[in-house]
């Protein structure tokens, strides 16, 4: 029987000790000070969590983590969203009658529906439950100040539905009613949507969209490499980096080996010098071009692949330009946030990871009650499931993938820039951990450090942390000494 693929089960543990060594310096509440507590292992940070409440509570960085204030609502609404229309279920306060309707997904229809609710209930607050934290519907509803949004995880609604419908029958109107029922009966476990500042929300979208463009760039360079291997493989050796302007310009001007053979030497030299290529490399490339032999001259192979290469080069060029545009927008916006300095000076952060880390932590410091909350929500801390004599440790399957990607990618980059991070990574690899497992362990450790810096608004200082490790007698110190 396959284990159930979920990270939020009643009675589930978070057990980092099964994947990594004991906490060592992480046993201390303050990573950057001399205060100390009793040693602890990763398993100590894996207290039991109620799946339903935790799944609802850790749904989005824009969901307030404070206890919701006592507030009376004139009505309660459940919305099951879709692409063209939304199923709506409404129940007025003090009434057991539920009204079902369908709301078209157009600005006019949403605005008219909200205006009708305002008129009907005299502008009093109305609670709205939906499976979204952002998107066009949320943006449209947030324009009306009397609507208080309570986002709920889609998995929560699915499990709630299965509890009363073992057949797993599903319908949009019934899902809207289930969300209304969650709102009416379990509002104490829901948190209202509290959006962050416009700067943070803008930066949040910028860093994520940029990362998607990077993925597009990788996809295009892979396709371009595959196409060139069929008729012009030499150019792949002449240019080590395929995601560059010079590579695109070269293929645009000379898409085949025959074309580059017909070019004059002076023309090629001028091309490389205009792209600031070193003289030594220019000479090597010119010699390689002169001695290159075509893989094939079959027009049935060359012609279609040339058309494909031209199309892919055009897309790659546009993608590279778009990434530069996003970089400029991030560079202008990120420094305007007061917390940016906390992340700008981190080892290996740079102009890309500093804004991503700023977005990862956000500006609502009450959102996470401890570093453990962030480690678990981001999917860095693993999960342990126990049932009888069976025990299964795995990484989190349900988590914000981009958030986890941010921490793991930056932790990997920090190995090159931080002395202790490099030693810690080497220590994990020496214990038999794979690269990915060792990097996640490093990310786990970094989150605890940065959480403290973020909560106290104290910039990270490498020497301060190393001194703290020495005072605490961390086992990592011995590895640092051997590495140096």
> Residue 225 above 60 pLDDT?
yes
**What's CA 385's distance to the chain center, in Å?**
25
CB-CB neighbours of 483 under 10 Å: 14
**How far apart (Å, rounded) are the C-alpha atoms in residues 268 and 248?**
15
- pTM greater than 0.85 (yes/no): no
Q: For residues 9 and 332, which has the higher predicted lDDT (pLDDT)?
A: 332
CA nearest to 451, candidates 47, 37, 32: 32
Summarize pLDDT for 258-273 with one digit per residue, the tens. Answer: 999 999 999 999 999 9
CA–CA gap between residue 177 and residue 165 (Å, rounded) = 13
pLDDT in tens, 123-173: 999 999 999 888 899 999 999 999 999 999 888 898 888 888 888 888 888
What pLDDT score does 93 carry?
93
pLDDT digits (tens, 9 = 90+) for 430-475: 999 999 999 999 999 999 999 999 999 999 999 888 888 888 888 8
Residue from 140, 188, 154 nearest 80 by CA: 154
Residue 8 has a pLDDT of 39
CATH label, 201-333, candidates 1.10.287.4070, 1.10.3720.10, 1.20.120.530, 1.10.510.10: 1.10.287.4070
370 secondary structure, DSSP code: S
> Can you give the pLDDT at residue 484?
61
Q: What is the pLDDT at residue 271?
A: 96
Report domain 65-195's class: alpha beta
Residue 385 banded pLDDT, cuts 50, 70, 90: confident
pLDDT tens digits, residue range 52-63?
A: 444 444 445 555
The arithmetic mean of pLDDT across residues 67-78, rounded, is 74
pLDDT given for residue 425 in this prediction? 94
What pLDDT shows up at residue 343? 96
**Overall average pLDDT of the 76-82 stretch:** 94
Residue 107 has pLDDT above 60, yes or no: yes
Domain extents in the chain: 16-56+342-483, 65-195, 201-333
Give 324's contacts (C-beta < 8 A, 6+ positions apart).
none
State yes or no: pLDDT of 12 exceeds 50: no
Instruction: Name which of 254, 81, 245 is nearest 151 in CA terms.
Output: 81
**In whole numbers, what is the pLDDT of the chain averaged over residues?**
85
Torsion from C-alpha of 52, 55, 56, 58, nearest 10 degrees: 150
Closest CA to 211 of 347, 409, 349, 379: 409
- Answer for the pair 221, 242: CB distance below 8 angstroms, yes or no: yes
More confident residue, 101 or 168: 101
* Cα–Cα dist 179/186, whole Å: 10
SS3 labels along 216-259: HHHHHHHHHHHHHCCCCCHHHHHCCCCCCHHHHHHHHHCCCHHH
Predicted local confidence at residue 394, as pLDDT:
83
d(CA 180, CA 27): 43
**pLDDT reading at 176 higher than 90:** yes
257/119 Cα distance (integer angstroms): 72
Of all residues in the chain, the percent with pLDDT exceeding 90 is 68
Mean pLDDT to the nearest integer, 32-42:
34
Output the 3-class SS for 183-203: HHHCHHHCCCECCCCHHHHHH
pLDDT above 50 for 232: yes
CA–CA dist 118, 114 (Å, integer): 6
pLDDT-based confidence at 17, cuts 50/70/90?
very low
Query: Quick one: tokens of 222?
Result: 């892979």
Comparing 45 with 482, the larger pLDDT belongs to 482
Distance CA 80, CA 423 (A): 50
């Amino acid at each position: 029987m396959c284990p159930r693929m979920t990270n939020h089960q009643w009675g589930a543990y978070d057990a980092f000790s099964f994947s990594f060594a004991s906490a060592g310096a992480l046993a201390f509440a303050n990573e950057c000070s001399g205060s100390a507590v009793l040693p602890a292992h990763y398993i100590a940070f894996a207290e039991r969590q109620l799946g339903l409440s935790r799944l609802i509570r850790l749904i989005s960085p824009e969901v307030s983590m404070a206890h919701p204030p006592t507030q009376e609502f004139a009505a309660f609404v459940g919305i099951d969203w879709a692409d063209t229309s939304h199923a709506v279920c409404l129940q007025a306060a003090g009434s057991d009658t539920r009204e079902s309707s369908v709301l078209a997904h157009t600005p006019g229809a949403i605005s008219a529906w909200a205006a009708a609710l305002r008129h009907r209930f005299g502008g009093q607050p109305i609670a709205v439950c939906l499976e979204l934290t952002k998107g066009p519907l949320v943006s449209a509803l947030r324009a009306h100040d009397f609507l208080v949004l309570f986002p709920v995880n889609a998995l929560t609604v699915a499990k709630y539905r299965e509890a009363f419908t073992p057949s797993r029958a599903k319908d949009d109107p019934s899902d809207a009613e289930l969300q209304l029922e969650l709102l009416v009966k379990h509002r104490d476990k829901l948190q209202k949507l509290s959006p962050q500042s416009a700067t943070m929300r803008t930066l949040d979208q910028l860093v994520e969209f940029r990362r998607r463009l990077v993925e597009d760039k990788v996809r295009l360079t892979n396709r371009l490499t595959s196409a060139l291997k069929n008729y012009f493989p030499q150019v792949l050796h002449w240019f080590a980096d395929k995601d560059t302007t010079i590579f695109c310009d070269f293929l645009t001007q000379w898409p085949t080996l025959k074309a580059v053979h017909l070019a004059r030497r002076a023309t090629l030299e001028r091309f490389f010098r205009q792209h600031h290529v070193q003289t030594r490399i220019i000479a090597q490339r010119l010699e390689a071009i002169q001695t290159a032999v075509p893989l094939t001259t079959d027009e049935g192979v060359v012609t279609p692949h040339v058309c494909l290469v031209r199309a892919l080069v055009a897309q790659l060029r546009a993608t590279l330009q778009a990434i530069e545009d996003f970089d400029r927008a991030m560079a202008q916006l990120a420094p305007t946030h007061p917390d940016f300095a906390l992340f700008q000076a981190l080892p290996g952060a740079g102009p890309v990871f500093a804004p991503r880390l700023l977005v990862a932590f956000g500006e609502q410091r009450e959102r996470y009650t401890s570093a453990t909350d962030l480690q678990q929500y981001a999917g860095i801390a693993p999960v342990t499931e126990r049932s009888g004599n069976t025990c299964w440790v795995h990484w989190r399957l349900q988590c914000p993938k981009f958030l986890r990607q941010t921490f793991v990618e930056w932790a990997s980059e920090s190995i090159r820039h931080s002395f202790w991070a490099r030693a810690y990574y080497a220590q994990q690899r020496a214990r038999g951990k794979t690269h990915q497992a060792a990097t996640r362990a490093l990310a786990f450790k970094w989150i605890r450090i940065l959480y403290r810096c973020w909560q106290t608004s104290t910039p990270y200082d490498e020497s301060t942390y190393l001194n703290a490790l020495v005072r605490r007698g961390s086992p990592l110190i011995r590895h640092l000494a051997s590495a140096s």
